[in-house]
Amino acid sequence: MSRLACRLRILTMCLFNRRGLNELRWRFGLQPLHSWNESPFKGGLLDKWLDSMGGKSRLLVGVFTDEDHLLEATQAVRKAGFDIHDVYTPYAVHGMDDAMGLRRSRLTWVCFFAGLFAGCFGAFMQYYTNAIDWPINVGGKNPWELHAYVPVIFEMTVLIAGLTTMVALFARSRLFPGKKAQLIVPGITDDKFAIALSHGSANFDAERARALFARFHAERVLDLGGLS
Partner 1 sequence: MSHSVESELREPLVLGDKTLHQITEDACAPLERKPNTLWWAAFFVALTCLGVGFSATAYQIATGIGTWGLNKTVGWAFDITNFVFWVGIGHAGTLISAVLFLFRQKWRTSINRSAEAMTIFAVICAAIFPLIHMGRPWLAFWTAPYPNFRGPLWVNFRSPLLWDVFAISTYFTISAVFWYIGLVPDLAAARDRAKSKIRKTIYSILSLGWNGSARVWSRYETAYMLFAGLATPLVVSVHTIVSMDFATSVIPGWHTTIFPPYFVIGAIFSGFAMVMTLLIIMRKVVNFEEYITLNHLENMAKVILVTGSIVGLAYGTEFFVAWYSGSPYEGFTFINRATGPFAWAYWIMVSCNVITPQLMWFKKLRRNVVVLFILSIFVNIGMWFERFVIVVTSLHRDYLPSSWAYYTPTLIEALTFLGTFGLFFTCFLLFCRALPMLAQGEIKGVLKTGRRKHHDAGHGHAEPRKAARVELEKEVAHV
Which 109-168 residues touch partner 1, going by CB under 8 A?
A: 111, 115, 125-126, 129-130, 133-134, 136, 138, 141, 145, 148-149, 151-152, 154-156, 158-159, 161-163, 165-166, 168
Q: Which of residues 10-49 bind partner 1 (CB under 8 A)?
A: none
Q: Which is nearer to partner 1, 10 or 96 (CB)?
A: 96
DSSP 17: -
| Residue 64 binding partner 1, by CB under 8 A | no
Contact 97, 71 (CB under 8 A): no
DSSP 7: H
Q: Which is nearer to partner 1, 30 or 214 (CB)?
A: 214
- As a whole number of angstroms, the distance between CA 110 and CA 118 comes to 12
The CB-of-105 to partner 1 minimum distance in angstroms stands at 4
The CB-of-125 to partner 1 minimum distance in angstroms stands at 6
* Count of residues touching partner 1 (by CB under 8 A): 77
The neighbouring-strand residues paired with 63 are 194, 220
Among 20, 24, 25, 72, binds partner 1 (CB under 8 A): 72
- As a whole number of angstroms, the distance between CA 69 and CA 66 comes to 5
- As a whole number of angstroms, the distance between CA 81 and CA 219 comes to 22
Contact 88, 123 (CB under 8 A): no
* Listed residue (92, 23, 9, 83) closest to 51, CA to CA: 83
| Residue 53 binding partner 1, by CB under 8 A | no
| Residue 184 binding partner 1, by CB under 8 A | yes
| Residue 189 binding partner 1, by CB under 8 A | yes
Q: Which is nearer to partner 1, 22 or 216 (CB)?
A: 216
Contact 82, 197 (CB under 8 A): yes
